[in-house]
């Protein structure tokens, strides 16, 4: 096979399986790295045991907020192409969230297939919506990082929250104004608003995870770590950035400048804390959502088959023409 030939489905499948194995290996390496030093592990465990309550709450509810906000972003983007309920998208994203941790990212493929079969949204339109979701994530990260670069490392929490959340109000206003001109444009702006809200939750989750380890990070560090984390999660060969995200966050944290230096073990540990929280949430939530999606898909297919059956058998084109002619002749016997 020439190098210029496009990769076959088998080669792509092999690449993704290898990537999945590599991601698992990197995740295991991160776990080994954290427990390799018994004294560091004891200190790590002690800090978590005495972590502030607000940080623990944010780490645990953060994944649920991400699920809601990403679902609403994708709902707005797909709503431009067909009818879909908000709760339906919540179930789809919850199911895909779990399934995307498997090789080949079956959650993404399954969601697009569901849109085509149930919502009658063309595959290319569903893919386009997913691409726009990625574009919105990039824009949101650029806005967040740009604002963080303008802020002082010593800024207060209340002022930091106000400044970082201010784009949400602007995006909401722009979406309302856009809807007066075009529903499509309004939905695009609302999708960006939800994506930015998702980014803010990720920033809160990382600030909380580091706080659980006794580390206070600056706005720039939060924004940079979050951007690297989100970039790792879109790597197509592994779901959720398994393994890649942990080490990416570690490198980003150690390379960034703040009021205090962050060592690699602490940074990797902070992301592992978030990974554990996600796992606690995604397994039961994903299983429930998958059950809901499966039932809804089966009901939709049964309804469609009943509709097709009530319309009678579909005849081949030539036979359908002859049948129509015979019906016409039989109804007017005196015209021959």
Q: Is 166 part of a structural domain of the chain?
A: yes
Q: What is the 3-state secondary structure (H, E, C) of the chain?
A: CCCCCCCCHHHHHHHHHHHHHHHHHHHHHHHHHHHCCHHHHHHHHHHHHCCCHHHHHHHHHHHHHHHHHHHHHHHHHHHCCCCCCHHHHHHHHHHHHHHCCCCCCHHHHHHHHHHHHHHCCCHHHHHHHHHHHHHHHHHHHHHHHHHHHCCCCCCCHHHHHHHHHHHHHHHHHHHHHHHCCCHHHHHHHHHHHHHHHHHHHHHHHHHHHHHHCCCCCCHHHHHHHHHHHHHHHCCCCCHHHCCHHHHHHHHHHHHCCCCCCCCHHHHHHHHHHHHHHHHHHHHHHHHHHHHHHHHHHHHHHHHHHHHHHHCCCCCCHHHHHHHHHHHHHHHCHHHC
State yes or no: pLDDT of 334 exceeds 70: no
Number of C-beta neighbours around residue 231 at 10 A = 17
pLDDT score of 313: 59
Q: Is 99 part of a structural domain of the chain?
A: yes
- Cα angle value 253/33/198 (rounded, 5°): 40
- Domain hosting residue 133, numbered range: 33-294
Task: Please tell me the distance from the alpha carbon of residue 164 to that of residue 332, in angstroms, as a whole number.
Answer: 77
Q: Is 155 exposed, middle or buried (0-12, 13-18, 19+ CB in 10 A)?
A: middle
**CA distance to 20, 53, 63, 164, 246, per residue, from 274 (Å):** 20, 15, 9, 21, 10
pLDDT score of 262: 87
Top-confidence range, 3-7, 70-74, 114-118, 253-257: 70-74
pLDDT tens readout for residues 106-162:
888 899 999 999 999 999 999 999 999 999 999 999 999 999 988 888 888 888 889
Write down the pTM of the prediction.
0.85
User: How far is C-alpha 148 from the geometric centre of its chain's CA atoms?
Assistant: 23
Q: Is 211 part of a structural domain of the chain?
A: yes
pLDDT tens readout for residues 25-62:
988 999 899 888 888 889 889 999 999 999 999 999 99
Q: Is 313 part of a structural domain of the chain?
A: no
Q: Are the C-beta atoms of residues 270 and 211 closer than 8 Å to each other?
A: no
Q: Is 309 part of a structural domain of the chain?
A: no
Q: Is the dihedral of CA 44, 225, 202, 28 positive or negative?
A: negative
Task: Please tell me the distance from the alpha carbon of residue 224 to that of residue 324, in angstroms, as a whole number.
Answer: 68
pLDDT score of 104: 67
pLDDT score of 336: 37
Q: Is 176 part of a structural domain of the chain?
A: yes
Q: Across all residues in the chain, what is the average pLDDT?
A: 86
Confidence grade of residue 8 (pLDDT, cut at 50, 70, 90) = low
Q: Are the C-beta atoms of residues 221 and 229 closer than 8 Å to each other?
A: no
Tokens of 160: 């930091």
Q: Which residues contact 271 (CB under 8 A, 6 or more apart)?
A: 30, 206, 209, 229, 245, 246, 249, 250
pLDDT score of 102: 80
Q: Is 300 part of a structural domain of the chain?
A: no
Task: Please tell me the distance from the alpha carbon of residue 163 to that of residue 147, in angstroms, as a whole number.
Answer: 8
Tokens of 252: 């980003």
State yes or no: pLDDT of 5 exceeds 60: no
Q: Is 24 part of a structural domain of the chain?
A: no
Tokens of 41: 């592990």
pLDDT tens readout for residues 224-240:
999 999 999 887 777 78
> For the chain, what is the domain count?
1
State yes or no: pLDDT of 322 exceeds 70: no
**CA distance to 46, 69, 330, 332, per residue, from 335 (Å):** 97, 67, 10, 6
pLDDT score of 332: 43
């Amino acid at each position: 096979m020439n190098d210029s030939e496009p990769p076959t489905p088998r080669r792509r499948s092999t690449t993704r399986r290898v990537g999945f194995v590599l991601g698992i290996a990197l995740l295991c390496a991160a776990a080994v790295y954290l427990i390799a030093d018994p004294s560091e592990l004891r200190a790590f465990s002690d800090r978590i045991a005495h972590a502030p309550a607000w940080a623990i709450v944010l780490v645990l509810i953060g994944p649920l907020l991400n699920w809601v906000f990403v679902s609403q972003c994708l709902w707005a983007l797909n709503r431009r192409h067909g009818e879909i309920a908000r709760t339906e998208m919540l179930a789809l994203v919850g199911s895909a969230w779990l399934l995307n941790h498997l090789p080949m990212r079956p959650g993404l493929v399954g969601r697009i297939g569901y849109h085509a079969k149930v919502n009658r949204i063309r595959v290319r339109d569903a893919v386009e919506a997913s691409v726009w979701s990625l574009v919105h994530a990039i824009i949101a990260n650029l806005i967040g990082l740009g604002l963080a670069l303008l802020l002082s490392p010593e800024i207060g929490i209340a002022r930091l929250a106000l400044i970082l959340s201010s784009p949400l109000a602007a995006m909401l206003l722009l979406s309302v104004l856009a809807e007066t001109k075009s529903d499509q444009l309004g939905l695009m702006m609302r999708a960006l608003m939800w994506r930015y809200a998702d980014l803010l939750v990720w920033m809160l989750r990382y600030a909380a995870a580091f706080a659980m380890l006794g580390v206070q990070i600056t706005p720039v560090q939060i924004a940079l770590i979050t951007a690297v984390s989100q970039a790792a999660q879109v790597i197509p060969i592994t779901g959720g950035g398994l393994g890649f995200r942990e080490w990416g966050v570690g490198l980003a944290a150690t390379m960034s400048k703040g009021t205090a230096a962050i060592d690699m073990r602490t940074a990797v540990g902070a992301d592992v804390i978030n990974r554990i929280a996600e796992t606690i949430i995604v397994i039961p939530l994903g299983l429930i959502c998958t059950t809901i999606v499966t039932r809804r898909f089966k009901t939709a297919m049964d309804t469609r088959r009943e509709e097709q059956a009530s319309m009678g058998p579909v005849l081949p084109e030539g036979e359908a023409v002859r049948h129509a002619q015979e019906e016409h002749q039989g109804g007017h016997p005196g015209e021959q």
